Copies of this chain bind each other. A is one copy, B any other.
Amino acid sequence: SVGGRSCRRLSGALVRPLLDSVDCVLFDCDGVIWRGDQAIPGAPQVINLLKESGKKVFFVTNNSTKTRKMYADKLATLGFHASEEEVFGTAYCSAMYLKTVCRLDGKVYLIGSPAMRQELEAVGIQQTGVGPDPVSGKQSDWANVALDPEVKAVLVGFDEHFSYMKLNRALQYLSQQGCLFVGTNRDSRLPLEGGKAVPGTGCLLQAVETAAQCQAQTVGKPNRFMYDCVASQFGLSRDRCLMVGDRLDTDIMLGSNCGLKTLLTLTGVSTVADAEAHQQSGCAERQGMVPDYYVESIADLLPEYF
């Protein structure tokens, strides 16, 4: 749809024309095809049948705690037919971003997970920083903490060992001339079952940005690099792609930013009321968070198409 988005329920006779109009479907993971360690009922069948009917399917997630391999294993366990090459998480995409866009010549100071370290190493980028980094000494010691002279970029992803000392080390690296500053994503919370949530990477990134007094370049949705990364490897055409997600501010916004068709599924974070509020706001920027269509669950596609 050009111009205003419709936010229409996708059902009955609308399903087949939409799916016939695309060659490729990009799925967010958490809240869309699974929740935590449980597949959304019917989701594996939908995705497996889409692939059998000739569609290209990709898994596009802001979560930086797993490698492509770890995602492929989880997908297989839950009954999805998927290969590593179809998975685009921010651990992998950040490594690709540093290598192909930044053409980084040096090491990374990594606030992140062992999975991020693996993806960096897989593209030949050395890193330092994974694991606990407890504080010791006093302010003048912190300001003069030992730095690796080969570090030329700071990369911030999800890190359960985030600490004052890591924040300080990032500030000291970013105070050096020419140091790159990249974040995986800005999600403020990771939602869990039962309405609970834990702090997301956006919190850690905000802390480092406040210290550094400058903004990081982020790789994850809604920034278009995630889509560009898939499109360049598989030769996609944006007007033949559908982006499916549960968050208006990341998934649907990515689709809008890249000119894809968009489908909101209600098994995760955002609601139809959220989408309608954006639609009725009269704010141009918020129109990008209005999906073309919504479904209760991606399982609703099953009886209509197959």
Which residues of A pack against B, CB within 8 Å?
36, 132, 134-135, 139-140, 142-144, 159-164, 167-168, 171, 175, 188-190, 192-193, 196-200, 202-204, 206-211, 213
Contact = CB atoms under 8 A, between A and B. Distances in A.
A126 to B, nearest CB: 25
Contacts of A213: 188-189
Contacts of A135: 160-161
The winner among A135, A199, A208 for most chain B CB atoms within 10 A is A199
Nearest to A144: B196
A163 B134 CA distance: 9
11 contacts: A139-B192, A143-B198, A144-B196, A171-B197, A171-B199, A175-B197, A188-B210, A199-B207, A202-B210, A203-B208, A206-B206
6 tightest Cβ-Cβ pairs between the two chains A and B: A143-B196, A199-B211, A207-B207, A162-B164, A203-B210, A203-B207
A164 B171 contact: no
B132 A198 contact: no
Nearest to A201: B210
Contact of A189 (B159, B199, B209, B211): B211
A135 B133 CA distance: 12
A192 B141 CA distance: 11
A154 B99 CA distance: 42
Given A132-B134, A190-B139, A164 B199 contact: yes
Contact of A163 (B139, B162, B168, B189): B162
Given A134-B132, A161-B164, A188-B210, A139 B198 contact: yes
Contacts of A163: 161-164
Contacts of A202: 210
A143 B192 contact: yes
A100 to B, nearest CB: 29
Given A143-B192, A143-B198, A171-B197, 8 more contacts: A134-B134, A140-B193, A164-B199, A164-B204, A168-B199, A171-B198, A189-B213, A207-B207
